[in-house]
Structures are given as structure tokens and as C-alpha cells.
Amino acid sequence: MDKQSAKRFKLHIHEAIKELSSALLVAHEVCAVEEIATIKRSMGNIIAAAEMLLHDSIYSHHPELNELSRKPSET
């Protein structure tokens, strides 16, 4: 994947993660306490899978797109 496509892909994955996090906040408001643990575990697994997809598909080929690996002097 070229760098420009990788940036677009990364943006969409990050947006999906933000939406899942927002859905989790809604779940906290509307779900029974016993359901929350299951929902949190499921959402956590999905978010982790998305992060691994970024790592394996994007950051391994374009490490400069991973803000978390940058040194403070590089930002």
C-alpha cells in the first residue's frame, strides 16, 4: 500500500475506534451492570484487532505514520 493510501486507511480505522469508544459510553448509560463487562470485553477485542491491523498493515511498512513511536523532537 502506498503512503497516501496508508494515511487514508489509518484515518478510517481511527474514526472507527472513536465510534466504538462512543458506543461504549452509550452502553454505560443504557445497559445493565451485568451487560457492561461483556460489552467492554467485546469492544476491547474489536479495538485491539483494529490496532493490530494498523500495526501489521500500515506501521510495519510506513513506521513514520505511527505517532506513538515518534520521539518528542520529531513532533
| pLDDT digit string, tens, across residues 11-35 | 999 999 999 999 999 999 999 998 9
**Would you say residue 28 lies in a domain?**
yes
**Would you say residue 71 lies in a domain?**
no
**Would you say residue 30 lies in a domain?**
yes
Residue 14, all three cell numbers: 481511527
| Percent of the chain clearing pLDDT 70 (strictly above) | 91
What letter would DSSP give residue 67? Answer: G
Question: Confidence class of residue 57 from pLDDT cuts 50, 70 and 90?
Answer: confident
By residue range, what is the domain housing residue 22?
A: 3-65
Instruction: Decide: 61 and 6 in contact? Cβ < 8 Å.
Output: yes
Torsions phi, psi of 70, nearest 5?
Answer: -80, 145
Our count of domains for the chain comes to 1
**Would you say residue 74 lies in a domain?**
no
**Would you say residue 44 lies in a domain?**
yes
**Would you say residue 11 lies in a domain?**
yes
Distances (CA, A) of 46 to 1, 7, 13, 20, 31: 23, 20, 11, 9, 19
